Structure 1
Amino acid sequence: MTDRDVLISGAGLAGPALAQQLLRHGFRPTVVERAPALRDGGYKVDIRGAATEVLKRMGLYSAARAADTGMRHVTYVDRNGRRIARLDADLLMGRRGDDLEMMRTDLTRILYDATAGAVEYVLGDTIATLAERPDGVDVTFAGGGTRRFALVVAADGLHSATRRMVLGEVPLRHLGAHIAIFDVPNELGLDREEVFYTEPGRMVFVYATGPGAPAKVGMVFGSAEPRLGREVLADRFAGMGWQVPRFLEVLRDTRDVYFDSLSQVVLPRWSAGRVVLLGDAAHCPSPAAGQGTSMALVGAHLLAGELAAAGGDHRAAFDRYEARLRPYVERNLALGVKMAGDMVPGGRVSTAIRNYGMRTLKYHPLKRRLIERVTRPLSEAANAIELPSSPATCWSAPS
């Protein structure tokens, strides 16, 4: 073992992004992932603001741009499937400049391809125990064997097992809703279009990147209970119109379903000894924010740069990483709270007002200005950090 050996737990997005940048700074990252293979599927993710600059510094922006979903329209319908409104997707979703939207699986593959052959991936395994020593961390793997690493990075998501090992149980900030996402046949023939249907306390959306691509269905419902199982979905969405009964039929026979609460990770510190947290494991903003991927990319960039600049002093690197990143994270956590409240409609009156606003918005002479005013907080949060100069030799401690 040398002081350049770093173990990263999690091969989602944050882990491979960090591995690629550590490799460029002369470290020797190893990525361990519980799943036996890279995860396929998943929903679309946004890369905004500062995160697009990070992708450019990584040399991956062009590949990501080529995989952009190219979504064209956002359509709102009523329970009978009648169109309420159709609006430009980039405008309504607040994408500006070089912002991207892509399928999570495409970004995972781009990050993996940028590191394959140079980074050791240990798939189908996980960390069983961690024992910190003066010069490193002894890691025992569930599949057997113990290895020593200079540092360990927990990049294993909202429910991080690695975080639990070093910090114990961390209560999540529940935002009052749950979300499910799963595939359905694209029987609506959607072509780079996303369709929304809302009722009080419930929202359903479906999108596809082309008529030949499977459609992704999302179901969001309000609930004060933070721990629920997917078995509640049939009951929570019973009685809804449009295509919802058909979606529930498909759901009944589907095993591959993302289901979780809209929750945030809020911690006073993102490191303990030689273990540091990254991405959702450190500061998940919830899917409502639409900023989790961007935060993971920005965090990976800052952590790799600070480790390179610290000359082996991991404590100084962790402190600087957190000092630079925390204001940006807090801005995006606040955005997540707001967006979660907006995702789930209130009572019948507020739902009717929302639908009326969407129906009349397309005719408003100041439509673009009105939408940009609403989406401005998202753009501001996405750009709420000034990235340090790159390469690492230009880095300095934040003032």
Structure 2
Amino acid sequence: MRNRDVLVTGSGIAGTTLAHLLCRYGFRPTVVERSPGPRTGGHAIDIRGTAREVIGHLGLVPQVRAALLAARGMAFIDERGHRQASFDPDVFGPSGGPAAEWTLLRTDLATILYEATKDEVEFVFDDAITEVTQDADGVTVAFEKGQSRRFDLVVGADGVHSDLRRMTFGPEERYVHDLDSYLCLYSVSSAMEHDWQLMYTMPGSDGRPGRTAGMRPLPGTDRALAAFFFRGRGFSYDRRDVEAQKQMVVRTFQDAGWVVPRVLPQIWDSPDFYFDRVEQVQMDTWSSDRVALVGDAAYCASPMSGIGTSLALVGAYVLAGELAKADGDHRIALPAYEAGMRAFVDRAQVFARTSGDGGLMPDTPTQMWLRNLSIRAMRFLPRRLVGRGLEKVADTVSLADHAAPSADRALTARRNAR
């Protein structure tokens, strides 16, 4: 096997999954991560369609199931907490629609993947790449703190604001597209007496855009995950200025009803505050010679699409499988990876742009009323019609088309790599 030494930048869902699979297939992956340890924080994520098969392939179904959040469904409520419309996962079929059955905190999934990978893979924390130089035989990588090292291949799994993408493909502005919305999440002290996710929508009016505040119970605790979604064209903020981000959220929701006046002040002392602009990464290609991208770095659909984690898991599986099938020949594997993932990515991104925020941030009271009416009607429609959109997107890729070599062959390659 050629090209066995692979550097993966980023220890998130895509990066750790890729490293786990590469190690299993006989490669020698190294993961570099800017944070001082495994990343924590982030929002609740869904695992849909083919991505569940990836979890099964990793042998992690019991661990994932044990970490699932308790939420029987999602309900839209008014400012007094009265339910206006609701649905549960059974309405949407296996992929679950907006209320997926396989939902857990991003921190928990990242921890499960890291614990399953750390003993076999080299993780380099508290460091980052500063320069990447390719030649005919490999890639020389410079680091902020560590010494320069030589690798056969480099894969960027370092998120929407990928350093590797900038170094290899050019400025972020070419690929990252603003969807004019924002997302904020943090845990709060608020015991919920049920296991429903609640969403309180304030439709746009008088030139002000629509907003939604949500609450999801955190199992086994007296805490909940608070979520705030709002539109805003042209808002300027520093990604590293957390205080300014918190002030933006407080200003936007300070006049809201329901439980918002009680949970909003907790933002100031939150240990797990998460804030992000809703953006999408669009690229014509995800590889350049010996460098490739996977997950959000290559094809983020948007944090609100409900499909991003599935893209990361399936993308890592397809990339690792194609590298193993090609015995490490990147000239064969990387085009096959792109061909295998392109339809899934295109469908997911179109879905995110057309369906991602219209229900959460309606522009008018009439739009909100129509949303609630359509949700109430869903339980009376055939499942094949209700779940057609997201369920069809989530099942785009067949893992069988990108399966790695047999277990015996992979085990032999792994032993030879040691």
Which runs of 5 or more structure 1 residues have no equivalent in the other structure? 395-399
Q: CA deviation at 1:260?
A: 1.2
**Counterpart for residue 20 of structure 1:** 20
**Counterpart for residue 163 of structure 2:** 161
Cα separation, partners in 2 of 1:177 and 1:48, compared to 1, 3 Å:
same
Cα separation, partners in 2 of 1:370 and 1:180, compared to 1, 3 Å:
farther
**Counterpart for residue 299 of structure 1:** 315
Q: Deviations over 1:232-288 (max 9, x none)?
A: 212221311111122221113336321111110000110112110000000000022
Q: CA deviation at 1:202?
A: 0.3
**Counterpart for residue 152 of structure 1:** 154
**Counterpart for residue 202 of structure 1:** 211
Q: CA deviation at 1:211?
A: 5.6
Cα separation, partners in 2 of 1:92 and 1:218, compared to 1, 3 Å:
farther
Which runs of 5 or more structure 2 residues have no equivalent in the other structure? 204-209, 238-243, 407-418
- Partner Cα distance (2:156, 2:47) in 1: 22
CA contact (8 A) 2:91 2:386 kept: no
SS of equivalent residue, structure 2 residue 250: helix
Q: CA deviation at 1:210?
A: 2.5
**Counterpart for residue 11 of structure 1:** 11
TM-score (norm 2): 0.86
- Correspondence for 2:196 among 190, 193, 196: 193
**Counterpart for residue 350 of structure 1:** 367
- Partner Cα distance (1:263, 1:226) in 2: 13
Residue 223 of structure 1 aligns with an amino acid whose one-letter code is G
**Counterpart for residue 78 of structure 1:** 78
**Counterpart for residue 228 of structure 2:** 219
Residue 384 of structure 1 aligns with an amino acid whose one-letter code is T
- Correspondence for 1:103 among 102, 105, 111: 105
Residue 109 of structure 1 aligns with an amino acid whose one-letter code is T
CA contact (8 A) 2:3 2:329 kept: no
Residue 217 of structure 1 aligns with an amino acid whose one-letter code is A
CA contact (8 A) 1:94 1:372 kept: no
Counterpart check, 1:42 vs 2:42: yes
The aligned runs of 1:1-399 (5 Å cut-off) are 3-91=3-91, 95-96=95-96, 100-171=102-173, 172-187=176-191, 189-200=192-203, 201-210=210-219, 212-225=221-234, 227-228=236-237, 230=245, 231-254=247-270, 256-342=272-358, 343-355=360-372, 361=376, 367-369=379-381, 373-389=385-401, 391-393=403-405
SS of equivalent residue, structure 1 residue 369: coil
TM-score (norm 1): 0.90
- Partner Cα distance (1:82, 1:393) in 2: 55
CA contact (8 A) 1:190 1:210 kept: no
- Partner Cα distance (1:372, 1:78) in 2: 30
Residue 293 of structure 2 aligns with an amino acid whose one-letter code is L
- Partner Cα distance (2:89, 2:347) in 1: 24
Q: Deviations over 1:350-394 (max 9, x none)?
A: 224434555xx2xx6x72526763442000000112223565237
CA contact (8 A) 1:190 1:211 kept: no
- Partner Cα distance (2:328, 2:182) in 1: 42
CA contact (8 A) 1:190 1:209 kept: no
